[in-house]
Amino acid sequence: MRTLLVEDDDLIGNGVEAGLRQAAFTVDWARDGREAQLALGTTKYALVVLDLGLPKMSGAEILAWLRDCANDVPVLVLTARGNVVDRVGTLEAGADDYLGKPFDLSELVARCRALLRRSQGRSVEVMRYHDIVVDAASKTVLRDGARVPLTAREWAVLLQLLSHQGVPQSKSRLEESVYRWQEEIESNAIEVHVSNLRKKLGADLIRTVRGIGYLMDKK
């Protein structure tokens, strides 16, 4: 899931980026408010992790701008611990959750997953789709009970399609959810991932919608 991390502190940013990538999130990292605004204006993110104290434009201003533009991307705000004014203010300003610094990385990842589940209308991490079972928390896929190893990209494509069942995903939408900034993308990369997923998980799993993209039908 393509995620925007907005954090000016290198140490915290490095830790969060590594933790989220480890948990199979596709992470872009913006280090100031303007960079974040530019990213949010050009890329569709599934989730934003937003620090409040930022150069050029504050986290609160970014949040207000997002909600003014009717962008309802889930936002997790990072606040200074114990700052009740910040916490209440950010929730009222349209944040979906907050976490006080310093925080535990595993808690951050768990909260990010919970926000994604909520935005996708799910209450559990485990998704069943015909003969496959996908567990987002442990990053495992079972087919007829047997574990199927997937690459990080295949996993990201599968999650994007699975969480948008019934809605065709264009090639560029899939690229956007799977690749970070400045990553080289081969022109047929998505076709290759889809073809591998079909080989591993079943030829009928993903449907090609001519001229539009790929689709996992609603179960």
Q: Segment near Ca ion (CB under 5 A), from 7-15, 17-25, 35-43, 86-94? A: 7-15
The span from the CA of 131 to the CA of 89, in Å, is 45
Residue with tokens 């591993």: 200
Site map for Ca ion, 146-175, x if CB under 5 A? ------------------------------
Nearer to Ca ion (CB atom), residue 87 or residue 173: 87
Nearer to Ca ion, 11 or 203 (CB): 11
Question: Beta-carbon neighbour count of residue 201 at 10 Å?
Answer: 21
Q: Between 53 and 168, whose beta carbon lies closer to Ca ion?
A: 53
State in angstroms the smallest separation of the CB of 83 from Ca ion. 13
Q: Give the nearer residue to Ca ion in terms of CB position, either 7 or 176.
A: 7
Residues 13-52 that bind Ca ion (CB under 5 A): 51
Among 53, 94, 100, 168, which residue interacts with Ca ion (rule: CB under 5 A)?
A: 53
Q: Which stretch binds Ca ion (CB under 5 A): 4-12, 91-99, 187-195, 202-210?
A: 4-12
CA 198 vs. chain centroid, Å, equals 23
**Smallest separation (angstroms) from Ca ion to the CB of 12:** 8
**Other C-beta atoms within 10 Å of 58: how many?**
15
Q: If binding means CB under 5 A, how many residues of this protein chain bind Ca ion?
A: 3
CA dist 201 and 34 (Å) reads 42
Q: Angle at CA 113, nearest 5°, toward 121 and 38?
A: 95
Q: Check if the beta carbon of residue 12 is closer than 8 Å to that of residue 54.
A: no
Cβ of residue 55: shortest distance to Ca ion, in angstroms?
A: 8
User: Whose Cβ is closer to Ca ion: residue 105's or residue 133's?
Assistant: 105
Strands of 126-129's sheet in order across: 126-129, 132-135, 140-143, 146-147
Stretch that binds Ca ion, among 1-9, 28-36, 109-117, 189-197 (CB under 5 A): 1-9
The SS3 of residue 47 is strand
**Residue 8 contacts Ca ion per CB under 5 A:** yes
Cα distance between residue 132 and residue 185, in whole Å: 28
- 123: Cβ–Cβ under 8 A, 6 or more apart, which residues? 117
Closest distance between Ca ion and the C-beta of residue 84, in Å? 19
Positions touching Ca ion (CB under 5 A) are 8, 51, 53
